[in-house]
């Protein structure tokens, strides 16, 4: 209670109760606290960068990043397949089921024949097996020709579907996909970068994909589309979603330790929703306090694959409490300050912390300066 | 070495010691030139590797019982499935039937004293041991985590011990090449008089086709792995896009061998199955020529379809189309074989001994494996199923459900010949049935799981797949336990099994005229084998005193070309 | 009655008529020789396939980047290559003659021919050593190690930092990250000025693609060749002037060293085989009844020669 009063008095915050566990004595803040009159309607810029609830200008209410809903594809679909969310997916399913039917027919037929013959013609004492031919050319030719014809038909149907899968319409909406160990990044034409794939319903979407390191593969089971993503080369894929919802996307080419964690969501927006999302997302990010921006980027840009915030050591050091510490690095002792963090983002192998491998990729050209500022602030606030 | 008895033939005391007991001692075995001893040494190495690979498989399946980490972390999991795959493919299934059982049986089936190049044969075995040691080295130092396919750029940049694993596979490739070379020359130059190509047992047609693949396809694996090693060690850039190289080129080179490799695994299996089915049906195989031609046809066609592993790799769409079309052609000869086997059962005289149970298992499991290949050959369906558990299930059905089951069946079939002992038939039969049940329990759910969206090589998975994984794990343990019991059954027979007659099953091929176990040169000097018309059971009868099958004294030998 | 017997022949086989080197399991010397012949042909077949991947890689990379091959092959000395070709052809002749000598029981001629073959092999390896040493000296090596100071015609090449000082391997002095693949670090291409920024193939809506990818990284199969990408971005590319190697010229030397290196290993193996044969010939092992090893080794040697006859024009004589 005392701490709350102190905070209130010292920072001039509106009278919101402190969140549970969030009591921070004023002394811990890295910025000097500024005194302001209580109840001031137009506060000066709050000094605490870690405070996500810092007062905002009256004409610019804070926008939150629109949430991504829960998956809608779990449990949906038939016994064999997830729900087919495009015409091409339905074609795939049709062919799959046709082959399944033929396969079950053949397998059951052969099983019945084997079991029946093994029983009917079992060895019995004194019983002589009847005479039978050792070959029958007509039979051979028949059971060669019929499967061949079936195979040709299956091939042609599969080929047609494949051609469709690889022929995007000219007016498709284009999104760039970047795959890296172990995160997908989706870059939209307006510059927005998202960790999930947002697409409008009923419109063809083309993805132009590349990898930053090893082979990955982009797979959305609900659309039955998959394409390997290769370093230093662009591969393409397209689809047109029929039903709004949230669908799972996986990496389908083994790419190392966290291959199975490298997944994202495909958010199919109802009509109008996509445009709205893009506008809201971009706006929210521009308005976001640096610490929230850093927290968002920590997850969205894949830092969380290698750095924890709770002290656990992963591929990279944990961010918890490191700001202000002095670490041994490959280039001598270094104090973890704003400059070191910025350098580590842009040139990660310059000063590698002792005990860790120089495997961090550079984010040069991928993070705007404001975004780097946000990450620095976020790290600063991780006590 | 195990003290199997010296042979007992109809006349009583053995005139010569068997190959097992002549010249005892480890030193005599390790430098032997006898194809039978080499085969036995391969068998010991291969079954040991199989058990090791199987342990890794059970560890993988245990880890996958729930999502998230159970017994290992993600890096260790990746090493587990890599070593499981590499050991099973390179140390067990590819050498398995040709090196262990083919080495033993081929010369005897030809009535010959040995293979064409016995010293090369021993050298092949040494190469196998070296390859195994290198793989073990990788396992011990920091087991490779690239997957058995070693795709670049991951394999050239990961920090695990890829070099020993790849070097091991390279050396194993040459073991395979020289074995194949040996077999081709043996079949060409050591056929007995009266055995033309179409009087050869189908087992030999399979071994011959396999050997062609071993000699012609494996060198491409050799150079591919060599390039991978040099790329990793010297950074020459051939697969490195930053230096102008192409990582997809690795996939082309790799699969150019690895697709014929899967036919190296299955052709000897099919070949042995032909012999097993005819023997236990006590009837001539149906469609001999078609089965023979299909073996060679499969070998030839197998070179043309490697791109079906790469439909979504970034290769050209035209290439994908051509490979898909060719893939369907390669399905047809396999289907022909299955139909011919089933037709052999028609109006036959069938005994369901252990080898026959494995053979019937093989037919059913291979049918499933082959049919699921059709799904994967259809282009747009494969786009969805590629790199999912559907593929994992498919290849386990053909590699394990077919090739390994055939290996077990062949092992039980020739066990009395190799060691002069009969195993416990009841235990063998029960194990065969349980393996079939356990296998299907393990892998049938994986087809559904894969089509539903479960990707392969995944350490963690979305919770909706949990039930499938759990059923699969239970099946795997059932299978594992049963396999250990069946191997135990075989080993137990070495000490307590009934002495085996020359021909316990009623086979017509020449090895069943040799003593069980055979002497050093396969047949007694005074008792050369006589060639009878192929797959002709009319002169065989079961003799109680012998405890096995004998041929009537007035049986007519093969003395002119016989059209089956 | 027809019999499946072989052992009679094998056991009775080695009387004084047969060479002591006929093995027990063969019927006779002819059986052994025919088997060995088939065996060596199969071995040669697999050797061809062993080299095949390198020829395929050559075809693919040359088809996609003819400028690299056109530029870099001029670093090779055609005269030395031609001499090597002649040396190997001569050695094939002497190897074939050795077989004939063995068949005709001409022991001295056999030894002489084997010795000539061996000397030619050493000569070949010696010339190869000279060629390789020159390449190491000029830093014209594989992959990233391609860092010559001079173009094939002798004109000097500008270094990216203006400083001709590099370490012995021609490596840049800056530390390299472990992960060299993809856009990790924008490396300047050694031996050239490097591409101007923003030359990556332009993709709509991709604001950051240009910053991190060197144009060299685009030179994979099936991608816009780096040259065209740069031209599309308006850069002036000078492929005619020999003062500037095209990007990724190291790839030519990757292929060169792989092909000639693997071939050299086979020549070296042949050296050991022929030393063994020479020793056995000096002991009088070979004659009309037994000359298989000479015949088979000569066949192997003919293949080694044949492979070089393909390598020489493909690497040295690019039009």
H, E, C per residue of chain A: CHHHHHHHHHHCCCCCCCCCCCCCCHHHCCCCCCCCCCCCCCCCCCCCCCCCCCCCCCCCCCCCCCCCCCCCCCCCCCCCCCCCCCHHHHHHHHHHHHHHHHHHHHHHHHHHHHHHHHHHCECCCCCCCCCCCCCCHHHHHHHHHHHHHHHHHHHHHHHHHHHHHCCCCCCCEEEEEEEECCEEEEECCCCCEECCEEEECCCEEEEEEEECCCCEEEEEHHHCEEEEECECCCEEEEEECCCCEEEEEEECCCCCCCHHHCCEEEEEECCCHHHHHHHHHHHHHHHCCHHHHHHHHHHHCCHHHCCCCCCCCCCCCCCCCCCCCEEEEECEEEECCHHHHHHHHHCCCCCCECCCCCCCCCCCCCCCHHHHHHHHHHHHCCC
CATH superfamily of C27-143+250-316: Cytochrome c oxidase, subunit III, four-helix bundle (1.20.120.80)
Yes or no, beta carbons of C46 and B181 under 8 Å apart = yes
Three-point CA angle B262, B267, B270, nearest 5°: 125
- Which of B224, B247, B530 comes nearest C1 by C-beta? B530
- Which of A103, A132, A254 comes nearest B457 by C-beta? A254
Q: Would you say C226 and C215 are in contact if contact means Cβ atoms under 8 Å apart?
A: yes
Tally of CA atoms within 13 A in the half-sphere of A246 that contains its CB = 11
Structure tokens at B127: 């190469």
- pLDDT by residue (tens digit) across C191-224? 333 333 333 333 333 333 333 333 333 333 333 3
Yes or no, beta carbons of C65 and B118 under 8 Å apart = no
- Give the CA dihedral C189, C190, C196, C197, nearest 10 degrees: 50
Task: Provide the 10 A C-beta neighbour count for residue C22.
Answer: 21
Q: What residues pair up with B519 in beta bridges, in sequence order?
A: B18
Q: Would you say B112 and B518 are in contact if contact means Cβ atoms under 8 Å apart?
A: no
What residues of chain C lie within 8 A of the CB of B226, using their CB? 262
B319 at interface of A, judged by CB pairs closer than 8 A: no
A366 at interface of C, judged by CB pairs closer than 8 A: yes
- Which of A187, A208, A232 comes nearest C182 by C-beta? A232
Which value does ipTM take for this structure? 0.92
What are the pLDDT tens digits along chain B (564 aa)?
333 333 344 555 678 889 998 888 889 999 999 999 999 999 999 999 999 999 999 999 999 999 999 999 999 999 999 999 999 999 999 999 999 999 999 999 999 999 999 999 999 999 999 999 999 999 999 999 999 999 999 999 999 999 999 999 999 999 999 999 999 999 999 999 889 999 999 999 999 999 999 999 999 999 999 999 999 998 898 999 888 889 999 999 999 999 999 999 999 999 999 999 999 999 999 999 999 999 999 999 999 999 999 999 999 999 999 999 999 999 999 999 999 999 999 999 999 999 999 999 999 999 999 999 999 999 999 999 999 999 999 999 999 999 999 999 999 999 999 999 999 999 999 999 999 999 999 999 999 999 999 999 999 999 999 999 999 999 999 999 999 999 999 999 999 999 999 999 999 999 999 999 999 999 998 888 899 988 999 889 999 998 899 998 888 887 644 433
What span, in angstroms and rounded, lies between the C-alpha atoms of A46 and A56? 10
Three-point CA angle B298, B247, C193, nearest 5°: 150
Contacts of A29 (CB under 8 A, 6+ apart): A47, A48, A50
> Among all residues of chain C, which has the CA nearest to that of B256?
C53
Q: What residues pair up with A209 in beta bridges, in sequence order?
A: A177, A235
Burial of B382 (0-12, 13-18, 19+ CB in 10 A): buried
Yes or no, beta carbons of B147 and A254 under 8 Å apart = yes
Q: Would you say C146 and C190 are in contact if contact means Cβ atoms under 8 Å apart?
A: yes
Q: Would you say B387 and B321 are in contact if contact means Cβ atoms under 8 Å apart?
A: no
> What CATH class has A62-123+138-285?
mainly beta
- DSSP annotation of B194 reads T
What residues of chain C lie within 8 A of the CB of B110, using their CB? 4
Task: Provide the 10 A C-beta neighbour count for residue A50.
Answer: 20
Element (H, E) at B489: helix B466-496
pTM of the full structure: 0.84
- Which of A121, A157, A232 comes nearest B242 by C-beta? A232
A30 at interface of C, judged by CB pairs closer than 8 A: no
Three-class SS state of B486: helix
Structure tokens at C247: 């990007």
- DSSP annotation of B556 reads P
Three-class SS state of B499: strand
CA distance A368 to chain B (A): 25
Structure tokens at A311: 């002290």
Taking the domains of chain A in order of start, what are their residue ranges?
Answer: 1-59, 62-123+138-285, 288-380
DSSP annotation string for B366-392: HHHHHHHHHHHHSHHHHHHHTTBHHHH
Structure tokens at B61: 């399946």
Yes or no, beta carbons of A121 and B289 under 8 Å apart = no
* Cα distances (angstroms) measured from residue B73 to each of A155, A182, A261, B139, B158: 42, 16, 13, 16, 17
> Among all residues of chain C, which has the CA nearest to that of B525?
C7
- Give the CA dihedral B264, B270, B274, B275, nearest 10 degrees: 50
What span, in angstroms and rounded, lies between the C-alpha atoms of B513 and B285? 20
Yes or no, beta carbons of A175 and C205 under 8 Å apart = yes
CATH of domain B30-551: 1.20.210.10
For an interface test with C, the pick among B106, B191, B241, B510 (most C C-beta atoms closer than 10 Å) comes out as: B241
Is C298's pLDDT higher than 70? yes
- pLDDT by residue (tens digit) across A219-261? 999 999 999 999 989 999 999 999 999 999 999 999 999 999 9
Yes or no, beta carbons of B530 and C4 under 8 Å apart = yes
**Partner chains of B (3+ C-beta pairs under 8 Å):** A, C
Yes or no, beta carbons of C25 and B114 under 8 Å apart = yes
Sheet holding A245-251, edge to edge: A197-200, A264-269, A245-251, A216-220, A225-229
Burial of B159 (0-12, 13-18, 19+ CB in 10 A): exposed
- Give the CA dihedral C307, C308, C309, C310, nearest 10 degrees: 60
What span, in angstroms and rounded, lies between the C-alpha atoms of B414 and B416? 6
**Percent residues over pLDDT 90 in chain C:** 54
Residue C156 banded pLDDT, cuts 50, 70, 90: confident
CATH superfamily of A288-380: Cytochrome c-like domain (1.10.760.10)
Q: Greatest CA span in chain C, whole angstroms?
A: 89
Q: Would you say B428 and B493 are in contact if contact means Cβ atoms under 8 Å apart?
A: no
* Cα distances (angstroms) measured from residue B343 to each of A106, A134, B327: 15, 9, 25
Q: Residue B12 has what pLDDT?
A: 58
Burial of A136 (0-12, 13-18, 19+ CB in 10 A): middle
What is the number of CB-based contacts under 8 A between chain A and chain B? 261
C185 at interface of A, judged by CB pairs closer than 8 A: yes
CA distance A207 to chain B (A): 14
Yes or no, beta carbons of B237 and C52 under 8 Å apart = no
Yes or no, beta carbons of A208 and C203 under 8 Å apart = yes
Q: Which carries the bigger pLDDT value, residue C311 or residue A19?
A: C311
Residue A63 banded pLDDT, cuts 50, 70, 90: low
Please name which of B558, B536, B552, B524 lies closest in space to residue B8, comparing C-alpha atoms: B524
Please name which of B63, B202, C283, B378 lies closest in space to residue A154, comparing C-alpha atoms: B378
Q: Residue A315 has what pLDDT?
A: 87
Q: Would you say B350 and A117 are in contact if contact means Cβ atoms under 8 Å apart?
A: yes
Three-class SS state of B524: coil
Q: Would you say A154 and A95 are in contact if contact means Cβ atoms under 8 Å apart?
A: yes
Yes or no, beta carbons of C258 and B316 under 8 Å apart = no
């Amino acid at each position: 209670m005392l701490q709350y009063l102190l905070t209130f008095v010292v920072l001039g915050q509106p009278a919101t109760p402190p969140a549970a566990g969030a009591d921070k004595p004023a002394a811990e803040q890295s910025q000097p606290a500024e005194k302001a009159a209580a109840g001031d309607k137009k506060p000066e810029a709050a000094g605490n960068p870690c405070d996500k609830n810092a007062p905002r200008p009256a004409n610019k209410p804070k926008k939150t990043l629109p949430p991504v809903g829960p998956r809608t594809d779990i449990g949906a679909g038939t016994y064999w397949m997830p729900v087919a969310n495009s015409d091409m997916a339905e074609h795939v399913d049709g062919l799959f089921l046709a082959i399944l039917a033929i396969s079950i027919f053949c397998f059951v037929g052969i099983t019945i024949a084997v079991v029946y013959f093994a029983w009917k013609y079992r060895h019995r004492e004194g019983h002589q097996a009847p005479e039978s031919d050792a070959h029958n050319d007509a039979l051979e030719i028949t059971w060669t020709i019929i499967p061949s014809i079936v195979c040709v038909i299956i091939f042609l149907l599969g080929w047609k579907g494949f051609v469709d899968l690889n022929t995007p319409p000219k007016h498709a909406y284009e999104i760039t996909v970047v795959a890296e160990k172990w995160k997908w990044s989706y870059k939209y034409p307006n510059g927005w970068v998202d960790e999930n794939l947002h697409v409008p319903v009923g419109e063809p979407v083309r993805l132009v994909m590349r990898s930053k390191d090893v082979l990955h593969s982009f797979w959305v089971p609900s659309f039955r589309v998959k394409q390997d993503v290769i370093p230093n080369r662009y591969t393409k894929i397209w689809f047109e979603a029929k039903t709004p919802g949230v669908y799972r996307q996986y990496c389908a080419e083994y790419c190392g330790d966290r291959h199975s964690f490298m997944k994202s969501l495909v958010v199919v927006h109802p009509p109008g929703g996509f445009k709205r999302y893009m506008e809201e997302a971009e706006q929210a990010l521009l308005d976001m306090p640096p610490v929230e921006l850093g927290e968002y980027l920590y997850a969205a840009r894949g830092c969380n694959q290698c750095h924890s915030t709770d002290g656990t050591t992963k591929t990279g050091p944990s961010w918890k409490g490191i700001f202000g510490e002095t670490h041994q690095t490959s280039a001598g002792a270094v104090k973890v300050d704003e400059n070191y963090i910025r350098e580590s983002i842009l040139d990660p192998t310059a000063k590698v912390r002792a005990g860790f491998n120089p495997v961090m990729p550079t984010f040069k050209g991928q993070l705007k300066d404001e975004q780097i500022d946000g990450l620095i602030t976020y790290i600063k606030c991780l006590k | 070495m195990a003290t199997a008895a010296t042979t007992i033939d109809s006349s009583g005391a053995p005139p010569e010691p068997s190959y097992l007991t002549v010249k005892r001692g480890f030193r005599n075995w390790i430098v032997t030139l006898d194809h039978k001893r080499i085969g036995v040494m391969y068998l010991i190495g291969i079954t040991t590797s199989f058990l090791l690979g199987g342990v890794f498989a059970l560890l993988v399946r245990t880890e996958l019982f729930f999502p998230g980490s159970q017994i290992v972390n993600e890096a260790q999991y990746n090493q587990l499935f890599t070593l499981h795959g590499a050991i099973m493919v390179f140390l067990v299934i590819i050498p398995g039937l040709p090196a262990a059982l083919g080495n033993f049986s081929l010369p005897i089936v030809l009535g010959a004293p040995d293979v064409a190049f016995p010293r090369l044969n021993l050298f092949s075995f040494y190469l196998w041991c070296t390859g195994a040691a290198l793989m073990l080295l990788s396992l011990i130092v920091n087991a490779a985590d690239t997957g058995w396919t070693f795709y670049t750029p991951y394999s050239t940049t990961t920090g695990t011990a890829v070099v020993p694993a790849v070097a091991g596979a390279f050396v194993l490739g040459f073991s395979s090449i020289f074995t194949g070379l040996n077999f081709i020359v043996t079949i060409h130059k050591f056929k007995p008089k009266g055995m033309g190509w179409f009087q050869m047992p189908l087992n030999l047609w399979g071994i011959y086709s396999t050997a062609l693949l071993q000699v012609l396809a494996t060198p491409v694996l050799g150079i591919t792995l060599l390039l991978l090693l040099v790329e990793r060690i010297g950074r020459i850039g051939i697969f490195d896009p930053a230096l102008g190289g192409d990582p997809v080129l690795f996939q082309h080179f790799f699969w150019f061998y690895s697709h014929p490799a899967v036919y190296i695994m299955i052709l000897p299996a099919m070949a042995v199955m032909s012999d097993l089915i005819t023997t236990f049906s006590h009837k001539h195989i149906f469609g001999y020529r078609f089965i023979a031609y299909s073996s060679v046809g499969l070998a030839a066609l197998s070179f043309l379809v490697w791109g079906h592993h790469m439909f979504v790799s970034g290769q050209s769409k035209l290439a994908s189309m051509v490979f898909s079309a060719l893939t369907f052609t390669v399905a047809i000869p396999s289907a022909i074989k299955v139909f011919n086997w089933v037709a052999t059962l028609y109006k036959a005289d069938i005994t369901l001994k252990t080898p026959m149970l494995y053979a019937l298992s093989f037919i059913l499991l291979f049918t499933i494996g082959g049919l699921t290949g059709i799904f994967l050959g259809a282009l747009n369906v494969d786009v969805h199923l590629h790199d999912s558990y559907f593929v994992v299930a498919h290849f386990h059905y053909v590699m394990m459900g077919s090739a390994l089951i055939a290996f077990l069946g062949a092992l039980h079939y020739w066990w009395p010949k190799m060691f002069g002992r009969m195993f416990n038939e009841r235990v063998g039969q029960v194990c065969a049935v349980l393996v079939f049940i356990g296998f299907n329990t393990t892998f049938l759910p994986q087809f559904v799981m894969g089509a539903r969206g479960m990707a392969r090589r995944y350490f963690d998975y979305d919770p909706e797949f949990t039930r499938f994984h759990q059923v699969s794990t239970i099946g795997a343990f059932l299978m594992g336990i049963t396999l250990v019991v069946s191997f135990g059954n075989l080993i137990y027979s070495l000490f307590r099994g009934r002495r085996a007659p020359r021909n316990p099953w009623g086979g017509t091929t020449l090895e069943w005229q040799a003593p069980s176990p055979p002497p050093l040169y396969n047949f007694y000097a005074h008792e050369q084998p006589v060639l009878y018309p192929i797959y002709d059971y009319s002169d065989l009868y079961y003799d109680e005193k012998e405890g096995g099958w004998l041929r009537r004294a007035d049986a007519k030998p093969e003395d002119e070309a016989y059209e089956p | 009655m027809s019999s499946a017997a072989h052992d009679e022949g094998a056991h009775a086989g080695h009387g004084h008529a047969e060479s002591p080197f006929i093995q027990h399991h063969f019927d006779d010397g002819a059986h052994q020789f025919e088997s060995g012949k088939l065996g060596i042909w199969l071995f040669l077949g697999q050797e061809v396939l062993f080299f095949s991947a390198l020829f395929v890689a050559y075809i693919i990379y040359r088809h996609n980047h003819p400028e690299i091959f056109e530029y870099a092959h001029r670093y090779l000395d055609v005269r030395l290559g031609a001499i090597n070709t002649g040396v190997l052809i001569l050695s094939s002749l002497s190897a074939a003659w050795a077989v004939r000598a063995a068949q005709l029981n001409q022991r001295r001629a056999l030894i002489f021919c084997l010795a000539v073959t061996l000397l030619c092999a050493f000569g070949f390896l010696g010339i190869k050593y000279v060629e390789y040493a020159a390449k190491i000296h000029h830093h014209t090596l594989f992959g990233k190690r391609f860092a010559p100071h001079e173009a094939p015609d002798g004109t000097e090449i500008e270094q990216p930092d203006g400083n001709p000082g590099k370490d012995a391997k021609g490596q840049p002095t800056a530390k390299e990250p472990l992960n060299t693949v993809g856009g990790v670090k924008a490396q300047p291409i050694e031996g050239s000025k490097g591409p101007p920024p923003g030359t990556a193939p332009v993709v709509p809506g991709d604001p950051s693609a240009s910053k991190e990818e060197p144009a060299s990284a685009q030179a994979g199969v099936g991608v816009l060749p780096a040259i065209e990408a740069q031209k599309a971005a308006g850069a002036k590319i000078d492929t005619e002037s020999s003062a500037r190697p095209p990007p990724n010229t190291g790839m030519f030397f990757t292929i060169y060293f792989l092909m000639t290196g693997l071939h050299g290993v086979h020549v070296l193996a042949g050296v050991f085989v022929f030393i063994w044969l020479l020793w056995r010939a000096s002991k009088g092992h070979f004659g009309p009844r037994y000359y298989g090893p000479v015949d088979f080794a000569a066949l192997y040697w003919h293949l080694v020669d044949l492979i070089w006859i393909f390598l020489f024009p493909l690497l040295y004589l690019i039009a």
